[in-house]
Amino acid sequence: MKKLLSIIIALFSLNATSQIKNIAEKLGYEKDAKLLIIHADDIGIAHSINIASFDAYKNNAINSGAAMIPSPWIKEVAEFHKKYPEYDLGLHLTLTAEWKNYKWRGVSSSNEIPSLLNEYNEFYDNTRDVNINANPEEVRKELQAQIDYARSLGINPSHIDSHMGAIAVNKDLWRVYIEVGYKNKLVSMATNSRVLNLFDEDFPVPDYIVPVNDIYMLYPEADRSFIENTAGEDIANTLIVNDIYKYEDWFNLYSSKIKSLIPGLNVFLLHLGYDNEELRAVTVDHPEYGSLWRQLDFDVFNSDEIKKVLEDNNVKLVTWREIQEIVYPNLKAN
């Protein structure tokens, strides 16, 4: 049995690797090119996060981002997107609201998605409750509602991904996520480890999935045991930082990862924001991914130094929009 499992894993890995190299060639690069998407998460949560993300787009510090449709500042994102449609924007599909005093609920009516809401009719603040309570068909309804509402605001998304990984907590929700992406002709972000862990013989990897080789993001030291116990090989290579947040450490961690990128499609997930009174209030008692954390992400990737590291290491920046046009070639015609 163990030998059979090893063979299955090897076949999944081979398939994922060939798809990654194929996407590089289809994008016009050598098959062993190091492709990178520099991606801003959580756009829409707060004005501070929005303007930092908008500035990062304009400064070529990021080349992709994803908006949280149920969040309070989403209409500001829609206005920016209509003014600058050339910037790649996807949807950070949302089933959780993690901040202490700053909450949101679903786009769907509360009575349509009761399994996704707590006693205050707000999203849960953690993924464990999503895993235990979420009805897959209610998740399907809410994800589609978020996509529909985004489009009604004038957002033309290129891809979808998952806030806090809430849609990847079990295979039933993962299948909904993949199917919703395909139905809406959006690229569903999926990593190599999730290709191995969340697809199976009942729901094999569809040929329209382009697995991400690795996703790099900063994790707080407090999350180490969670990461080691629950995540796959891509997360094993992510960055762990201590509780003292300094620019030099941030820069060194990111630059060392750039230098060690391997061929294939890679993603840096950034959490941007300006360290101001608004964002400090939003992220109170939550220093990880908080106000200073987001300022440091912004500062590093807006620096000339990190852009030189990218150039010196022959990293090719690509976008989800480019990949979407490969995966769904009839999209432009529609």
Q: Which residues contact 71 (CB under 8 A, 6 or more apart)?
A: 42, 44, 45, 94, 104
Q: What is the pLDDT of residue 95?
A: 98
Q: Which residues contact 264 (CB under 8 A, 6 or more apart)?
A: 17, 20, 21, 24, 34, 35, 213, 214
Tell me the whole-structure pTM to 2 decimals. Answer: 0.89
> What is the pLDDT confidence band of residue 153, given thresholds at 50, 70 and 90?
very high
Q: What is the pLDDT of residue 40?
A: 98
Q: What is the pLDDT of residue 26?
A: 92
Q: Measure the CA–CA gap between 103 and 282, rounded to whole angstroms.
A: 10
Helix ranges, 184-245 (H): 192-198, 224-230, 233-236
Q: What is the pLDDT of residue 17?
A: 42
Q: Is residue 239 over pLDDT 60?
A: no
Q: Is residue 39 over pLDDT 60?
A: yes
Q: What is the pLDDT of residue 332?
A: 64
For the segment 184-191, the average pLDDT, to the nearest whole number, is: 96
CB 306 within 8 A of CB 251: yes
> What is the pLDDT confidence band of residue 241, given thresholds at 50, 70 and 90?
low
CB 288 within 8 A of CB 224: no
What would the pLDDT profile of 203-222 be if each residue is shown by its tens digit?
A: 999 989 999 988 999 887 64
Q: Is residue 245 over pLDDT 80?
A: yes
Q: What is the pLDDT of residue 220?
A: 78
Q: Report DSSP letters for 136-159, one per residue.
A: HHHHHHHHHHHHHHHHHTT----E
Q: Measure the CA–CA gap between 225 and 302, rounded to whole angstroms.
A: 31
Q: Which of 210, 151, 137, 207 lies closest to 184, judged by CA?
A: 151
More confident residue, 213 or 229: 213
Domains and CATH numbers, the chain: 2-327 (3.20.20.370)
What would the pLDDT profile of 119-137 be if each residue is shown by its tens digit?
A: 999 999 999 999 999 999 9
What would the pLDDT profile of 46-59 be if each residue is shown by its tens digit?
A: 999 999 999 999 99
What would the pLDDT profile of 8-19 be if each residue is shown by its tens digit?
A: 333 333 344 444
Q: What is the pLDDT of residue 18?
A: 43
Q: What is the pLDDT of residue 196?
A: 79
Quick one: DSSP state of residue 283? T
> What is the pLDDT confidence band of residue 231, given thresholds at 50, 70 and 90?
very low
Q: What is the pLDDT of residue 242?
A: 59
Q: What are phi and psi of 315, to 5 degrees?
A: -85, 130
Question: Letter for the amino acid at 21?
Answer: K
Q: Is residue 108 over pLDDT 90?
A: yes
Q: What is the pLDDT of residue 226?
A: 44
Token representation of residue 150: 């985004």
